[in-house]
Amino acid sequence: MLAPSRWRLISVVVALIFGVLFTLPNLLPAGMRESLPGFLPKQTLNLGLDLQGGSYLKLSVDTRALRVEKTTNLIEDIRTTLRADDIAFTDLGQVGSDVTVRITDPAQANTALNLLRSRLGGDIATGGSGLELSAQPDQRIRLGFSEQALNAEASRAVDQSIEIIRRRIDALGTREPAIQRQGIDQIVVQAPGESDPERLKSIIGQTAKLTFQMVDDSVSVAEAMQGRVPPGSVVLPSQDEGPLLLKKRAVVTGEMLTEASQGFDGQSGQPVVNFRFNGQGAARFGEVTASNIGKRFAIVLDGKIISAPVIQSAIMGGSGQISGNFTAESANDLAVLLRAGALPAPLKVEQQNTVGAELGADAVRAGAISLAIGAVAMFVFIVLAYGLFGVFAALALVLNVLLMIGAMSMTQATLTFPGIAGMILTLAVAVDANVLIYERVRDEAHLGRSPLQALEHGYERALVSIFDANITSAISAVIMFMFGAGAVRGFAWTLLIGVITSVFTAVVVTQLLIGWWYRAKKPKTLPIV
């Protein structure tokens, strides 16, 4: 085992080069790091939020709101479809999670069912809505979405939300945000650095659903507030004036916007949001404004009326502006939100974690000091205990630290504050491998074996224990990585890397060093006996 082996030497040299190359960027100032030649690695340790400061947000997509909205839309669709074909109906409304409607004329019941099925239904596999319709007694039709359709919609909503959040955050210019899906309906956003968590949250958390709806003046708002809301209309609060009664059906929606930017009103000089519709939106908006001159329409954002201007003339060009008590910043934020698009469902902040950069710097300092003191104390102890062999173990430990930091820099694994503690304990377990070997060697020497034989047997025997012990450690690290959340995962990764590097350094490196020493000195006794 101690015979010179080219393979062993090469592997240690390669590991040493790897460790130094990948650890080095962490020690250089940023300027020097940038000027390194292109083939050298430049990645530094990926510090967790607790070490570098930043914000962590865990959001969940409100899939219940999504269902409610889908049902509301379905009721409106049924109403429009039946009215368009002059089919009289009553009792249109929600029953449980489904919708039912009663067709007044029994002769038309079947026609109505087929009509609704062809317009609104369709198998989900062929791109349909997944709506299930059934004829009920008493000329009733029951309509409901299949569970499959609802789940597909929820999953789509999460994907869409991630995309929209990414666009919004990119527009803010936040440095390297990480946006990930977690579980079925959760999204994790991590933004490092000194970003303002509240602004981040407000820009992520807003649904930004923009609609243009006609004001319904068939009854007065006061009457409507007393419960006499005409079907198909709704009372919404307004930002500047009292609530208004609006038609539920949106004339144009935010999805039809192609452009939105912050500008200033030509006359008042107030900040406004300028927008432009796409072809479809422009045509619809032109049509509706042309036939409603003199009436009011409302611009509604997330269920709140921003402004409700009177239509002076048909607006045909497809562009316009939203005014409504904006500051330059709030107008700009709204423009960002409109450009990025509306979230398909509201997001709820489930967990938030913000660490100030200064606190992070304190943590880095405390972690580095802890690690340095722990390592130095360990070096001293091991050298005191085992003399020259202790020096060999300490050298192996140095390479182990280099490899761990190098591997973590290379894989861009997140190093967290608990991860530093994990690294320290990993170093202790790495030393244990050497202790096991040396104690075995001593045992063998005490049995009267020659130094060479004692070394050979000691390594061989200790390897079994080292192997078993490290497999169990690896099992716990892998499990932590699979089931843990957040900080625990970073910790587990640190442990796993540590298990691999420590077995390599504690066994192979010391073997190489002791082999050299033995051949150079040909000792009669071992220093540890």
Partner 1 sequence: MRWPFITNLPREFNFDFVRLAPMAAVLSAILISIAVGSFVFRGMNFGIDFVGGALIEVETQKPLDIAGLRRVMTEAGGEDAQVQSLGQGNGAILRFRVPDDADLNASTQVVKGALEKAFPGIEIRRAETVGGKVSGELARSGAIALTVAMFLMLLYIWFRFQLQFGLGAIVAVLHDVVLTLGALSLAQLEVSMTSIAALLTVIGYSMNEKVITFDRLRENLRKYKTTPLRDIINRSENERLSRTLITGSTAIIALSGALFFGGPVLLPLVFTMVFGVIIGTYSSIYVALPIILLWGVRRDDDEAVPLKPANARPG
* Binding residues among 172-191 for partner 1 as defined by CB under 8 A: 183
436 interacts with partner 1 by CB under 8 A: yes
Cα distances (Å, whole numbers) of residue 46 to 169, 177, 379, 405: 21, 13, 27, 10
Structure tokens at 321: 């502006």
Q: How far is the CB of 487 from partner 1 (least distance, A)?
A: 6
Candidates 23-31, 331-339, 474-482, 515-523; binding stretch for partner 1 (CB under 8 A): 474-482
Of 128, 366, 519, 521, the residue at the interface with partner 1 (CB under 8 A) is 366
**Three-state SS for 44?**
coil
Phi first, then psi: what are they for 355, rounded to 5°? -120, 125
Site for partner 1 in 488-507 (CB under 8 A): 488, 491-492, 495
Gap between the Cα atoms of 514 and 494, Å rounded: 29
Does 3 help bind partner 1 (rule: CB under 8 A)? Answer: no
Query: Does residue 303 bind partner 1 (CB under 8 A)?
Result: no
- 22 part of the interface to partner 1, by CB under 8 A: no
Work out which of 144, 318, 344, 486 binds partner 1, going by CB under 8 A: 486
Q: Pick one of 12, 342, 403, 420: the residue that binds partner 1 (CB under 8 A).
A: 420
Query: Is there binding between residue 315 and partner 1 (CB under 8 A)?
Result: no
Q: Does 421 bind partner 1 (CB under 8 A)?
A: yes
The smaller minimum CB distance to partner 1, of residues 40 and 359, is found at 359
Encoded amino acid at 449, one letter: R
Q: Which 3-state string (H, E, C) describes 219-250?
A: CCHHHHHCCCCCCCEEEECECCCCCEEEECCC
Give yes or no for residue 513 binding partner 1 (CB under 8 A): no
Q: Is 275 in the site for partner 1 (CB under 8 A)?
A: no
Phi first, then psi, for residue 300 (nearest 5°) are -115, 130
From 123-131, 132-140, 351-359, 512-520, span contacting partner 1 (CB under 8 A): 351-359
Residue from 89, 275, 417, 459 touching partner 1 (CB under 8 A): that is 417
Q: Are 33 and 42 in contact (CB under 8 A)?
A: yes
Say if residues 499 and 474 touch (Cβ distance below 8 Å).
yes
By CB under 8 A, is residue 32 in contact with partner 1?
A: no
84/369 with CB nearer partner 1: 369
Region label for 137, one of left (φ > 0), alpha (ψ between -120 and 50) or beta (otherwise)? beta
* Binding test (CB under 8 A) with partner 1, winner from 375, 455, 508, 513: 375
Cα angle 309, 312, 314 (rounded to 5 degrees) comes to 110
Measured CA to CA, the distance from residue 353 to residue 416 in angstroms comes to 14
Q: Quick one: which of 123, 127, 126, 119 has its CA closest to 146?
A: 123
Q: Are 344 and 157 in contact (CB under 8 A)?
A: yes
DSSP 498: H
Among 194, 196, 302, 439, binds partner 1 (CB under 8 A): 439
Interaction between residue 80 and partner 1 (CB under 8 A): no
Q: Which of residues 451-470 bind partner 1 (CB under 8 A)?
A: 461, 464-465, 468-469
Chain position carrying tokens 């562009």: 319
- Name the minimum Å distance from CB 443 to partner 1: 7
Binder of partner 1 out of 233, 473, 502, 510 (CB under 8 A): 473
For the four alpha carbons of 176, 488, 202 and 273, in that order, the dihedral sign comes to positive
Nearer to partner 1, 10 or 485 (CB): 485
Out of 41, 263, 309, 418, point to the residue binding partner 1 (CB under 8 A). 418
220 binds partner 1 per the rule CB under 8 A: no
Residue 192 near partner 1 by CB under 8 A: no
Percentages (nearest 5) of helix, strand, coil residues in the chain: 55, 20, 25
**Is the Cβ of residue 217 or residue 350 nearer to partner 1 in the bound state?**
350
